[in-house]
Amino acid sequence: MKPIIEKYKDSVIQIATPFSVGTGFYLSNKNIIVTNEHVIRNNKAVVVEGNGINRSLLPVIYIDSKYDLAFIKGPGHRAEMEIELGDSDKVLEGNSVVAAGHPFGLKFTATQGIVSNTRHIQDDINYIQHDAALNPGNSGGPLINDNAEVIGVNTFILRDGHSLGFALPSNVLKKTLDDFLKEKESLAVRCSSCLNIIYEKFQKDTYCPNCGAVVKFISSIEEYHASGIRRSLEDILRQNQIDVELCRRGPYNWEVIEGTAKILLSYHEESGMIVAESILARLPKEKILPIYNWLMQQNFELRGLSLGINKNNIMLTAIMYDQFLKPEYASIILKDLFQKANEYDELIIRQFGALPNEL
């Protein structure tokens, strides 16, 4: 399993939109990131990030609701990130597989399992059924065989199905890629009625030229505009020179990188609580008391922020509530948190020997 993890850790991509987070994988030789349609739904561009790809906003170039597939334009060919598509027709029940992805929006994770059914039919589509653990956020990630080849795209799970996952076979993906790439530099969608791929550059209206069905093209997708408390929070982020489009992580979460520190901003709709927290460095194994003394001293001086420890992580946190939210005050608090997160992270590593966390 370790060689597979090493090979795929740079090619498995985290995808984020204003509505959800998910996974994709980068086919460098085609300069395409593959994922599920439901991951990028209602977005003409999405945020992608991975070990081999810096966080960036990239355009969606193909949407396929029939097979729950979507393609995102890649960042440019990179030979060191080559991965291969295997032959899904050769998959047998009992074969070992690895599912790779970013569950819950976390960093790269891989789980192992076996194929339990090679012909699970749902909505007239054949899926590979397996028991490698999948969680929300894994959608769109690769299912990998022992030869380190992609044999499927993880698409859905049964919530009460004891870790039953289902992957679209790689041969379906291969054919879709071949059909899509017949035309260069054109956005495309698959017609949900006749199932033909329709290229936007040839269309003068919103109807399928083959069957006449209404088709929703990528260019017709409306830009996302936050509303309510989300708009207020995003306005506050913009006041602090934060690129809001790049830091969205679903409807109520934002992630900001400030120097060596990562700041997570979350809104909890039921409680009305707004939490901004930065995971700083980790406690060292020795000489911890000076850090505790420093934390207490800083907390005595801080206003609107507090330092603490969660497990072995040193945290800097601000808590506010929507009904009492004053944008001017919140902007000052967040600006202070962004500045101090980076400052404190470097200080406790340098001065107290704390251990850096990976971003």
- Spatial separation of the C-alpha atoms in residues 180 and 189, rounded to whole Å: 9
- Spatial separation of the C-alpha atoms in residues 179 and 175, rounded to whole Å: 6
Tell how far CA 167 is from the center of its chain.
18
In order of 48, 62, 199, 288, the CA distances from 185 in angstroms are 20, 11, 10, 57
Query: Token digits for 208?
Result: 């399928």
- Spatial separation of the C-alpha atoms in residues 128 and 116, rounded to whole Å: 8
Q: Can you state the percent helix, strand and coil of the chain, rounding each to 5?
A: 25, 35, 35
Active-site entry in 10, 68, 131, 345: 68
Active-site entry in 20, 88, 139, 278: 139
In order of 83, 134, 141, 149, 236, the CA distances from 8 in angstroms are 8, 17, 11, 10, 37
Specify whether 205 is catalytic: no
- Spatial separation of the C-alpha atoms in residues 268 and 323, rounded to whole Å: 12
Specify whether 20 is catalytic: no
| DSSP helix/strand/coil, 112 | strand
Specify whether 28 is catalytic: no
Q: What amino acid occupies position 314?
A: I
Alpha-carbon Rg for the chain in angstroms: 23
Q: Are strands 253-258 and 188-190 parallel, antiparallel or unpaired?
A: unpaired
Q: Are 125 and 105 in contact (CB under 8 A)?
A: no
Residues in CB range of 219: below 8 A, 6 or more apart: 44, 187, 200
Query: Token digits for 328?
Result: 């001017």
Residue among 228, 271, 222 at smallest CA distance from 251: 228
Strand partners, 85: 150
- DSSP annotation of 75: S
User: What are the residue numbers of the active site?
Assistant: 38, 68, 139
